[in-house]
């Protein structure tokens, strides 16, 4: 492989990996606090993308306004989902909430089919983000490819600041540690959980918007694959760990791109490589790269 081709692959991998990371961060945050595998995360992500589509294509609003509205709209949807489908199950066995999440996922997908139809829709890509920068050796990079990792890292930073430097963040960590004790400390647990959920949905919206910018097509099932990929990325890094999710996303991106780059004839096995690596990592580090150790207390 020539160097310029390799560099191009590297850039591709970075761009894809940081997108995966971005989806995974929201996923892992909700998990870290509620211990809920939110199977509907990918669908909330899809709603975010649809909101942008409606704002920019249907109602012809400026792009930036559309993005802000989409984030707000998605957050409200996320809070609604929490209120209706998860909150009544806070004290229930975890599997109940999980099945409820699967139900929510089915609901949002099919609701979208009914309301938006199955037809894929386009998304406005601001030209400034899309005009490729070409280097002398033929390597190309679109500005969006830089924007995605930057946004992702900024969000991870902001999230870490929130979790470790602010009062609500402290409350969130306390809830993830022991919800009952936290309640007794006078923290209004439901508000904090709603906050976490809103935050998770906003992150999903950002990821959905970025995803729709990079792969400009929205359709009701667009969240399925990113949802599963985010799950994998989050587990790679240790589910519940915010920096871990970012690292997991990057690893996943690199495995997918590089397996095709080095073994083009095996490109049909691309996803198998990712899963194989995931299982290997779990065998050596049963709770992911940055996951907290689960010691059984005796």
Partner 1 sequence: MRKFTAALMLVLMLCTAALADDDVIKIGVFNCLTGQNAFGGQLELEGTQLAHSLNPEILGKKVELIIVDNKSDKVEAANAVTRLIENDKVNAIIGTYGSSLAMAGGEVAEKAGVPVIGTSCTNPLVTQDKKFYFRVCFIDPFQGAGAATYAFRNLGLKRAATLVDMSNDYSVGLGKFFRDSYKKMGGQIVASLFYQSGDTDFTAQLTALIDAKPDIVFLPAYFAEGAIVLKQAKELGADFKFIGADAMDNPEIVTLGGDAVEGFMHTTFAYDPSMPEMNETAKAFTEEWNKIHPDKAPNVNCALGYDCYIMLKDAIERAGSAEPAKIRDALETTKDLPTVTGMTTINATHDAEKDMGIVEIRGGKKTFVGIVVPEV
Partner 2 sequence: MKSVRNLILTIIFVILFAVFLEKAPEFLNGYWQRILNLIAINAILALSLNLIYGITGMFSLGHAGFMAIGAYVSALLVLSPAQKSAMWILEDIYPFLLNVNAPFVVSLILAGLAAAFFGLLVALPVLRLGGDYLGIATLGFAEIIRILITNMAPLTNGSLGLKGIPAYTTLFMSWGCLGIVLLCTVCMLKSNFGGVLRAVRDDEVAAKMMGINTFKIKVLAFTLGCFGGGLGGALMGNLITTIDPKMFMITQTYNILMIIVVGGLGSVTGSIIGSFLVTTMLEWLRFVENPITIFNINIPGIPGMRMVIFSLLLIMVIIFRREGIMGMREFSWDIFFPKRKIKDFESKTETVLELQDVKLKFGGLSAIENLNMKIRHWEIVGLIGPNGAGKTSAFNVISGFYKPTSGTIKFLGKSIGGLSPDKVCQAGMSRTFQNIRLFGNETVLQNVMIGSRIRQKYHWWMSLLPFVFTDVIKEDAEVRAQAMNLLDQLGLDAFADEKASSLPYGAQRRLEIARALATKPRFLLLDEPAAGMNPQESEELMKFIRRLRDEFDLTILLIEHDMKVVMNVCDYIHVLDQGVHIAEGTPEEIKSNPKVIEAYLGAGASEGSAA
Q: How far is the CB of 96 from partner 2 (least distance, A)?
A: 4
The reply on whether position 58 binds partner 1 by CB under 8 A is no
Among 68, 76, 102, 134, binds partner 1 (CB under 8 A): 134
Q: How far is the CB of 60 from partner 1 (least distance, A)?
A: 14
Among 62, 76, 80, 110, binds partner 1 (CB under 8 A): 110
- Please give the helix or strand (H or E) that residue 141 lies within, else none: strand 140-141
The interface partner of residue 41, options being partner 1, partner 2, none and the CB cut-off 5 to 8 Å by kind, is none
The reply on whether position 113 binds partner 2 by CB under 8 A is yes
Phi first, then psi, for residue 193 (nearest 5°) are -65, -40
Q: Which is nearer to partner 2, 4 or 287 (CB)?
A: 287
Q: What angle do CA 69, 56, 153 make, to 5 degrees?
A: 60
Q: How far is the CB of 267 from partner 1 (least distance, A)?
A: 4
The reply on whether position 157 binds partner 1 by CB under 8 A is no
The reply on whether position 133 binds partner 2 by CB under 8 A is no
What is the token pair recorded at 218?
Answer: 């929205």
Alpha-carbon span 190 to 183, nearest angstrom? 9
Residue 246 contacts by C-beta under 8 Å, 6 or more apart in sequence?
18, 21, 24, 25, 152, 153, 156, 237
Nearest to 91 by CA among 177, 190, 200, 174: 190
Alpha-carbon span 212 to 41, nearest angstrom? 15
The reply on whether position 283 binds partner 2 by CB under 8 A is yes
Q: How far is the CB of 109 from partner 2 (least distance, A)?
A: 8
The reply on whether position 276 binds partner 2 by CB under 8 A is yes
The reply on whether position 269 binds partner 2 by CB under 8 A is yes
First vs last C-alpha separation in the chain: 54
Q: How far is the CB of 272 from partner 2 (least distance, A)?
A: 4
Are 148 and 141 in contact, with CB atoms under 8 Å apart?
Answer: no
The reply on whether position 129 binds partner 1 by CB under 8 A is no
The reply on whether position 100 binds partner 2 by CB under 8 A is yes
């Amino acid at each position: 492989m020539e160097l310029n081709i390799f560099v191009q692959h590297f850039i591709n991998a970075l761009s894809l990996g940081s997108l995966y990371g971005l989806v995974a961060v929201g996923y892992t945050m909700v998990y870290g606090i509620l211990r809920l595998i939110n199977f509907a995360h990918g669908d909330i992500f899809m709603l975010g993308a649809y909101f942008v589509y409606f704002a920019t294509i249907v109602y012809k609003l400026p792009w930036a306004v559309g993005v802000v509205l989409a984030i707000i709209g998605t957050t409200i949807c996320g809070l609604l989902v929490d209120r209706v489908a998860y909150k009544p199950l806070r004290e229930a066995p975890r599997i109940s909430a999980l099945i409820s999440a699967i139900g929510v996922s089915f609901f949002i997908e099919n609701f979208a089919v009914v309301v938006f139809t199955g037809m894929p829709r386009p998304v406005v890509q601001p030209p400034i983000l899309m005009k490729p920068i070409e280097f002398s050796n033929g390597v190309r990079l679109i500005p969006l490819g830089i924007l995605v990792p930057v946004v992702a890292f900024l969000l991870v930073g902001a999230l870490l600041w929130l979790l470790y430097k602010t009062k609500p963040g402290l409350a969130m960590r306390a809830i993830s540690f022991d919800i009952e004790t936290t309640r007794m400390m006078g923290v209004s647990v439901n508000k904090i959980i709603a906050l976490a959920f809103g935050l998770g949905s906003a992150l999903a919206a950002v990821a959905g918007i970025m995803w729709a910018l990079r792969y400009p097509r929205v359709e009701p099932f667009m969240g399925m694959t990113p949802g599963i990929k985010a799950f994998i990325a989050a587990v790679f890094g240790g589910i519940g760990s915010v920096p871990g999710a970012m690292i997991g996303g990057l690893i996943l991106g690199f495995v997918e791109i590089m397996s095709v780059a080095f073994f083009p004839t095996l490109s049909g096995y691309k996803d198998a490589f990712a899963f194989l690596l995931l299982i290997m990592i779990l065998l050596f580090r049963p709770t992911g790269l940055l996951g907290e150790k689960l010691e059984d207390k005796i």
